[in-house]
Chains A and B, each alone.
Chain A
Amino acid sequence: MKLVAVTSCPTGIAHTYMAAESIEQAAKDAGHSIAVETQGAAGAEPVPADVIAAADAVIFAADVEVRNRERFAGKPLVVAPVKRAINDGPGLVSEAVQAAEAGPAASSPATPAAAGTATAAPAAGPAGLTTKVEQDSGFGTRLRQWLMTGVSYMIPFVAAGGILIAISFIIGGPQVATKVFGGTFHGHTYPAAITGIESYTIAPVLHAAGIAGLLFLIGKVAFFMLVPVLAGFIAFAMADRMGLVPGFVGGLVATATGAGFLGGLIAGLLAGAVVLALKRPKVPRALAGIMPVVVIPLISTAVTGVTMAVVVGRPVAAATTAMTTWLHGLSGTNAALLGLLLGAMMAFDLGGPVNKVAYTFALASLASGDTKIMAAVMAAGMTPPIACALATVVRKNLFTPAERTAGEAAWLLGLSFITEGAIPFAAGDPLRVIPSMMAGSAATGALSMVFGATSLAPHGGIWVIGLIGKPGLWAAAIVAGTAVSAACLIALKSLRHTAPAGGTVSVPGATRVAVGA
């Protein structure tokens, strides 16, 4: 019997080749011919299309996405974790033989669809998109791997957009944002140069705020992509390429309805689940060709988009209104309590609807002359990225390499009051990150109110320190909240992981770093 196999693993230096060797030996021992494609770090030598066409069955021993898997479409297929191939090559080979015997007309030359894609595949290049998903893990682990795949593709957008915005504040002054989108900054009222990032009219932006304004706008456009990219690649991790369309569109709808990154998580998971469900039923061969191109994208995008708009979007809008009314009812109550609440809200969804309610409340308070609430909200919005950055430095073993990279950018984003800098951390591990961030931001918000710090600026973070009343105490509130969040985050993440051996710094060192920053 003729077999082909693909092996791949996360690192691509060990298990990929061990699995290949194990399968080759088992196949030869059983008297079959086999060609194995090792998609590892040494570069994959693709199995020739005619060998695939002649094969009776295909084995995927892969813990990451098999690249260009459409080349094998229509073949009887056995899928296994890479470790299974290493531990039990003969078992896997006999499964493939059984699949070939059960498979429909597999010994005939390849189906037209398979042959067509096989010749088209090399044009796509060997280096496809990759995911972090392993097939044999439990649901909790896989869920985290789906989320981390989305996060790893989102991080460059956070870094590029956030740093562009920070640079625009540095070269153009923190009032850049107000000059572009209109509003009041330190007593000056500016007309809006443009209505939103979707109106790409550059001339008024350049006129109102110069090159800094343009950089700010471009940074905002990158930020606009955060949630769609997150949702798109979560769905991709779950359901392969077909997940991309419903994921991206669902993420855009989540953005449009103001559902923030939590809405994006829902959109991505939903899109992936819908595509997986649609891939499941066996369809007649005549229909099989148009399933991945037309039917599945169409249905999954419609289902995800409508669900996001109706089931998620409307409650979000209603909750936003209710929270705003409730907050205004709280005006004049205990200042520390209000600061605590607003701080926790700022960190709850890091730029999502709850964060926006708190921030909009602060803007309204600023307009009516209460500058303390703005100071508390700004401080509370600065601590999450700084705390995440701090935690990656203090206990780097608790974070993935991608998260450590995000941590490097998060210092600047946090100091610039770009709360979104913490999203890569929260999206990958929301149940540990969000409560940690809320605890610190609540502390910061309450302390800022108790200290009586004030802010005349609606944004800008450390760059508007000149417009902050009691700047020393305000900074102390930020340092305190940062320490709280970083400590909570490290504690919660340590509970999950077995503690790595030695080589770590304790939290007091952490506080010192924050003061220095």
Chain B
Amino acid sequence: MPSPIITPDLVDLGLEAPDRQTAARQLAQRLAARGRVTDLDGFLADVTAREQQMPTGIEGGIGIPHARSAFVTEPSLAFARSTAGVDFGAADGPAHLIFLIAAPDGGGSAHMTILAALARRLVRASFREALATAPDEQAVVDVVTKEVLGS
């Protein structure tokens, strides 16, 4: 059984960041602090490279910076809520829910299946709503774990 993709210390319910680079950096620092990312700058460069191909913001106030990177040790999700919002290039405005998805380069497909399940939940209104209203970090982790691993 792989370790959980998200833990309470990978959740930031009061993110304040002027732009998407800073937002991604703050979330990535949480991953680095847990040893899930071995080289913060290297990983962020991969995230930035992906972001520059096409912004990852989608409608409904969601930003999904992500990368497959050699500096990632296990599939991970860091999650943030931002009241002010952070621009992720979506047409309808800034993102209030930000998901930093980190996948190991060349990770096995079992790992990737978990991230795929997570990505599928992201387009469900009920999942977004549960995350937007989760009272604390543990509640966020519970929502993700139940939805992604419980089905």
Binding site for B on A (CB under 8 A): 10-18, 20-22, 25, 38, 40-43, 63, 83, 86-87, 89, 132, 134, 136-137, 145, 396-397, 400-401, 497-498, 500-503
Contact = CB atoms under 8 A, between A and B. Distances in A.
Interface of B: 19, 21-22, 25, 41-42, 44-46, 48-50, 52-54, 56, 58-59, 64, 66-68, 91, 101, 103, 107, 109, 112-113, 115-117, 119-124
Contact of A43 (B52, B64, B109): B109
A14 B123 contact: no
Contact of A40 (B50, B58, B112): B112
Contacts, number: 109
Given A134-B54, A396-B45, A397-B48, A17 B120 contact: yes
A370 to B, nearest CB: 46
B64 A10 contact: no
A320 to B, nearest CB: 38
Given A86-B58, A132-B53, A21 B21 contact: no
Contacts of B52: 497
Nearest to A503: B41
Nearest to B120: A21
B50 A10 contact: yes
Residue in B107, B109, B116, B124 whose Cβ sees the most chain A Cβ within 10 Å = B116
A14 B121 CA distance: 10
B21 A42 contact: no
Contacts of B46: 401
A10 B54 CA distance: 9
A14 B124 contact: no
A132 to B, nearest CB: 7
Nearest to B59: A87
A14 B66 contact: yes
User: What are the 6 closest A-B residue pairs judged by CB atoms, nearest first?
Assistant: A17-B119, A42-B112, A21-B120, A501-B21, A17-B116, A87-B59
Contacts of A83: 54, 58
A22 B48 CA distance: 26
Nearest to B18: A501
B2 to A, nearest CB: 13
Nearest to A81: B54
A426 B53 CA distance: 19
B120 A12 contact: no
Residue in B54, B59, B123 whose Cβ sees the most chain A Cβ within 10 Å = B123
B68 A13 contact: yes
Contact of B120 (A18, A63, A132, A396): A18
B56 A14 contact: yes
B119 A18 contact: yes
A102 B22 CA distance: 48
Contacts of B119: 13-18, 21
B54 A13 contact: no
Contacts of B50: 10-11
27 contacts: A11-B66, A11-B103, A13-B103, A13-B116, A14-B122, A15-B56, A15-B119, A16-B116, A17-B116, A18-B123, A21-B122, A21-B124, A25-B124, A41-B68, A41-B109, A43-B112, A83-B58, A86-B58, A86-B59, A134-B53, A134-B54, A400-B49, A401-B45, A498-B21, A501-B22, A503-B41, A503-B44
